[in-house]
A and B are shown apart, each in its own frame.
Chain A
Amino acid sequence: MFSDHYALYVISAYVSTALILGAVIWSSVAAGRRAKVELEEAERLGGRR
């Protein structure tokens, strides 16, 4: 697979892609969870008034 002297380039490209995609996926899912809680709290607040 990486039998030539370009292995470091290929690994760098795949690792940097994984890191960037991982960051976007993690931030998207985390923001989604926060927004869900935020909306539930706002609905409770609205219901009390």
Chain B
Amino acid sequence: MNRVLFLCLFVLFSQFMLAQSSEIPSATDCYFIKNGLVVIKPGQNPSKSSIVIRNGLITEVGANITPPYDAKIINVDSMYVYPGFIDPLSHTGLKEPEKEDKSKEDKPKSPGVATFTQAGITPQVLASQMINCKDKSINSMMESGFGISHTVPKGYILPGQGSIISLKESNSNENLILRKDISMVGELKTKRGVFPSTLIGAMSRLREINKNTDIYLKNIAAYKANPVGMERPAHVSEYEAFGGVTNKSKPLFFVADKPKEIHRAVTLQKDLGFDIILSDVKLITPLIDIIKPNTPILLSLKLPKEIKDEDKVDSKDSLDTKKKVQTEEYIRLTAKKKESYDLYLSQAKILAEKNILFSFSYMDISTSDILKSIRRLIAAGLPENNALEALTTSPAKILNISAIAGTIEKGKLGNLVITDKPLFDEKSKIKYVIVEGQVTELKKSDSSKTNKNDDKKVGDLSGTWRYEVEVEGGTQYGNMFFEKDGSSYTIGVESDETPSEVDQGYDISVDRSNISFKLDIENEGIKMTVKLDLNFTSNTNFEGTAEIEGMGSFKISGVRRLIPD
């Protein structure tokens, strides 16, 4: 009941926030994006043009075109217009499968005889069936400039198949799907406690699956041709699903971040003979020679922590800080670390120099870091032009959707990103995102997401907030009540599990857009302290962590309730 209520609230809230509301009928499906500095495709200079989008498609681009009579005009004079970004690998828009009660989990009799499902190997799982059009990640990727995501299930070894979705607002899950079940995702990540529990087990299992898929398909075909006297081959949905990889109709996006992992992925590729796209890569250039030519690479945007000068004076706990800073060993180790850091930062630059097709992946990065990371790559030598390619034309090529996306050309999807300054400028802010002709104007507070360094204020947060926290075994929901108290707040928290029991927050500290506080809760007789750390990305949203001593840290997020109960 509460969850339903929450979803409804979320819908209402989104509509309130976005410039366009589906409840008020729109007057037209035609837009005229007027007088922007348009970058038609990477490598071209911005030139003053206008764009007509009708029924979700670009119908005209040019300097001297006149607005159609039925168009809504959006004046973007002196703003920069880019093709909508394409995300070639993420988990955007997927409903997390409900985490089952651990005690109810299907467990094998002994660890060595786990079935595919028990071992977490699920190539038959389809992202297309897990899409939740109301998932917040769709909106937050869109607000970061993306119009299209290739979204894949989470899991182990072979988590399942991916689909390409449009990041537009819709009430239909199906309506978002641009390309259905087009890929497989693979990773040498294993479930603990069952075979295969290590990467060596996973590799041998993949070799077996590959071989048995062929055998399976052969048996099925033979049985179909002539079943007389033949043992009926049992149906195995895992082999059926993996057939798409062995017959090369579905590329395998293989997650492999560092040289050893990449080497393992390439070893499997060689052994098994199918095509892979190396995904979520952090460091590849030392082994670039072993990569099969024309293998696309998706770089992770999770970059090493920035090395700042003040890191050198790390005074905590040293008896003699000055002496420490000067030790020969410290200097030597710091230099070596810096060398490694520089190498990681230069990955995109080197791939660009070598003309290797690459883009980025967005599997576990917070959207606010995306442009920040790309700017760091540019500062480390990646040409802006290549960075834009990696956001637009390259992922289009990798996903085989160049015909409909990646550039601002007649006939393609009406996906645009519009910024107030050149995209990679430190101070640049996204003003509009257009996805299939749906225009979203980003409010100032939202666009500040793209640049966290901005000294932002989020205003008065008093009121009721709806939160959800992802804990072991599922998501918990509840309300938080903020009441302004001078420069700080009083905070009450009420969980849906125990309605009308309000716990008071204490140790509350407010720092710009961050509020942290503590909470004593009691769960089945056990007293625990929860430390909450909330970052208000706007005056209607927060993201953060809830840390429970001895249990770990959980993601928490919340939205402001805009209508009274």
Indicate, yes or no, whether A interacts with B. no
Q: Which residues of B come within 8 Å of A, CB atoms?
A: none
Interface residues of A (CB under 8 A from B): none
